């Protein structure tokens, strides 16, 4: 193949993978229901190698996809069949931290949690905290505008990206944004963040950091129904409190967490996790207010702690939920949809009804503060038709989210999994415009072809 010959001239040695055995590890990402085989994988160790690889792809018309840890749950880092996969794991340096400006400059392969670990010496942290933060990379977080439990107050990845150096689909190296928010002109960083790799590859990222809170308190309230826990969230928001996080887990999710990491949750139909942070006086006042609200919310039990180890165990249970459901079923789909907070109770009731009608168990874990649902659809892929039935249930849940005024994704992106559902939210003209914008940057649709937008080759303008 022409592209293999071109890549062979880059002097990559053993870091150019072309054999079926070597490429097998890259055939899927966190959404294992989809697989594809690239023709080659490049284990890049520098920006120059990324640039050279992309230029080779552009010259030969070969599609490519950048990949960090491969934790995408929508198939966003799935290889393009017959294309080139550019692995960025080895670009994993924290290049600098500036305590005065509260910024850090990172390579794309830096693990999310490692940013906060590096910044902790300066009393700082990186706010976005996806459940996979101990393994997911900054480049992937940027591509999919990742959120996390604490995005309720601190915002998504896009709220913390200041600038970046990117390799465009033709191999040009350019800079978007800068070291501060005081930029002029169009918000190119905002456009790039969440574009799922369709505009190129970020090879250096400047992020903002936040001060580590002076005080933190984490509440754990148990309820005898999901609706009661959802009503408590509404009451907290209506009272004017703004916790840093509000999460709900149902009985199945609790069961999975206990089977896996054993966080010692109380038995309940639903658990509500609420975290407060700030200066000591503010947290003390908010704690008093929150205690009063939970006291009249119908909670059957409530505890709260400021102990770091106890808090870490509570969050370990919550953040392990996606993988922990593997204790309950051989296979599962992690769905990601959003409904308005005011529709949470109705949405959960509809998920329960859809689950019962399909005869498929669903474990519910969600960012209650912003209505971001993560229903975990449990099935056994060895059963004939089980995957198709699970996918249909997932599609029905997404349709319900849009019908209630929400979205088909909150933080996992569209990838390949939700591409067919975009027309639920966007008109044909909207989708045509998106395709035109994409092709104005990448006429050959080489960058992560097939993700989010249907390629022109498949017969549609979007």
Instruction: Give residue-wise pLDDT tens across range 8-46.
Output: 999 999 999 999 999 999 999 999 889 999 999 999 999
Whether 421 is covered by a domain: the verdict is: no
Predicted TM-score of the model (pTM):
0.93
Output the domain CATH number for residue 256: 3.30.70.2190
- What pLDDT was estimated at residue 461? 39
Res. 462 pLDDT band, cuts 50 70 90? very low
Whether the per-residue pLDDT at 227 is higher than 90: the answer is no
3-state secondary structure of 275: strand
pLDDT digits (tens, 9 = 90+) for 382-416: 999 999 999 999 999 999 999 999 999 999 999 99
Element (DSSP H or E) covering residue 203: strand 201-208
Residues facing residue 210 across a β-bridge? 125
Paired tokens of 123: 């009393």
Q: What tens digit of pLDDT does each residue of 86-125 get?
A: 999 999 999 999 999 999 999 999 999 999 999 999 999 9
Mean pLDDT of the chain: 95
Query: What is the mean pLDDT of the segment spanning 193-203?
Result: 97
Instruction: Kindly report the CATH number assigned to the domain that includes residue 396.
Output: 3.30.70.2740
Using an 8 Å Cβ cutoff, are 42 and 86 in contact?
A: yes
Alpha helices for 85-206 (secondary structure H): 112-119, 138-144, 151-154, 188-192
* Residue 98 included in any domain: yes
Domain residue limits at 345: 329-411
Q: Let me know whether 225 and 205 are in one domain.
A: no
417 falls within a domain:
no
What confidence score (pLDDT) does residue 184 get?
76
**How many whole angstroms separate alpha carbon 353 and alpha carbon 358?**
9
129 and 39 both lie in a single domain = no
Asked if residue 104 and residue 194 are part of one domain, the reply reads yes
Q: Does 268 share its domain with 159?
A: no
CA distance 392 to 387: 9
User: Is 416 a member of any domain?
Assistant: no
Among 87, 118, 148, residue at a domain's last position: 87
pLDDT for position 459: 52
Give the confidence band of 181 by pLDDT, cuts at 50, 70, 90: confident
Residue whose token pair is 């874990």: 365
Mean pLDDT of 278-299: 96
**267 in the same domain as 310:** yes
The last residue of one of the domains, among 171, 195, 211, is 211
Whether residue 397 is found in the same domain as residue 431:
no
User: Number of folded domains in the chain?
Assistant: 5
Same domain, 221 and 198: no
Residues 103, 158 within the same domain: yes
**52, 87, 122: which is the final residue of a domain?**
87
At residue 47 the predicted structure's pLDDT band, cuts being 50, 70 and 90, is very high
Each residue of 93-118: b (16+ CB within 10 Å) or e? Answer: ebeebeeeebbbbbbbbbbbbbbbeb
Which of 6, 56, 29, 41 is closest to 446 using CA atoms?
56
Q: pLDDT band for position 460 (50/70/90)?
A: very low
347 and 388 share one domain: yes
Residue 140, Cβ density class (10 Å: 0-12 exposed, 13-18 middle, ≥19 buried): buried
43/130 same-domain check: no
Whether residue 397 sits in one domain with residue 449: no
Same domain assignment for residues 223 and 240: yes
Strand intervals (E) in 256-387? 270-278, 301-305, 331-334, 337-338, 362-367, 372-379
């Amino acid at each position: 193949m022409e592209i293999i010959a071109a890549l062979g001239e880059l002097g990559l040695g053993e870091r150019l993978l072309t054999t079926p055995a070597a490429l097998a590890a890259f055939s899927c990402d966190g959404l294992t229901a989809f697989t594809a085989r690239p023709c080659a994988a490049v284990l890049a160790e520098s920006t120059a190698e990324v640039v050279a690889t992309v230029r080779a792809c552009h010259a030969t018309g070969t599609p490519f996809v950048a990949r960090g840890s491969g934790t995408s749950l929508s198939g966003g880092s799935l290889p393009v069949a017959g294309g080139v996969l550019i692995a960025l794991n080895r670009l994993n340096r924290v290049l600098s931290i500036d305590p005065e400006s509260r910024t850090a400059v990172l390579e794309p392969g830096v693990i999310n949690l490692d940013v906060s670990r590096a910044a902790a010496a300066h009393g700082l942290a990186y706010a976005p905290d996806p459940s996979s933060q101990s393994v997911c990379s900054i480049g992937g977080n940027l591509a999919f505008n990742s959120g996390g439990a604490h995005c309720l107050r601190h915002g998504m990845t896009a709220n913390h990206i200041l600038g970046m150096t990117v390799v465009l689909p033709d191999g040009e190296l350019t800079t978007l944004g800068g070291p501060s928010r005081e930029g002029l002109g169009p918000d190119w960083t905002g456009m790039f963040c969440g574009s799922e790799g369709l505009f190129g590859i970020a090879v250096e990222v400047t992020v903002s950091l936040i001060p580590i809170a002076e005080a933190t308190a984490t509440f754990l309230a148990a309820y005898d129904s999901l609706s009661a826990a959802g009503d408590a969230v509404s009451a907290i928001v209506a009272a004017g409190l703004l916790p840093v996080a509000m999460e709900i887990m149902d009985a199945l999710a609790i069961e999975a967490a206990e089977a896996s990491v054993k966080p010692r949750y109380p038995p309940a139909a639903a658990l509500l996790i609420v975290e407060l942070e700030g200066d000591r006086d503010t947290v003390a006042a908010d704690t008093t207010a929150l205690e009063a609200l939970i006291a009249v919310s119908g909670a059957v039990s409530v505890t709260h702690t400021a102990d770091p180890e106890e808090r870490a165990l509570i969050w370990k249970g919550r953040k392990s939920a996606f993988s922990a459901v593997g204790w309950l079923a051989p296979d599962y789909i992690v769905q990601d949809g959003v409904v308005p907070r005011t529709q949470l109770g109705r949405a959960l009731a509809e998920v329960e009804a859809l689950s019962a009608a399909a005869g498929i168990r669903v474990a519910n874990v969600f960012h209650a503060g912003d209505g971001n649902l993560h229903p975990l659809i449990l099935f056994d892929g060895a059963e004939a038709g089980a995957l198709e039935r699970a996918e249909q249930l997932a599609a029905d849940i997404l349709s319900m989210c849009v019908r209630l005024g929400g979205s088909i994704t909150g933080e996992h992106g569209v990838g390949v999994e939700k591409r067919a559902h975009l027309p639920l939210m966007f008109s044909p003209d909207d989708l045509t415009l998106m395709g035109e914008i994409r092709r104005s940057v990448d006429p050959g649709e080489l960058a992560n072809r097939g993700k989010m937008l249907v390629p022109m080759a498949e017969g549609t303008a979007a």
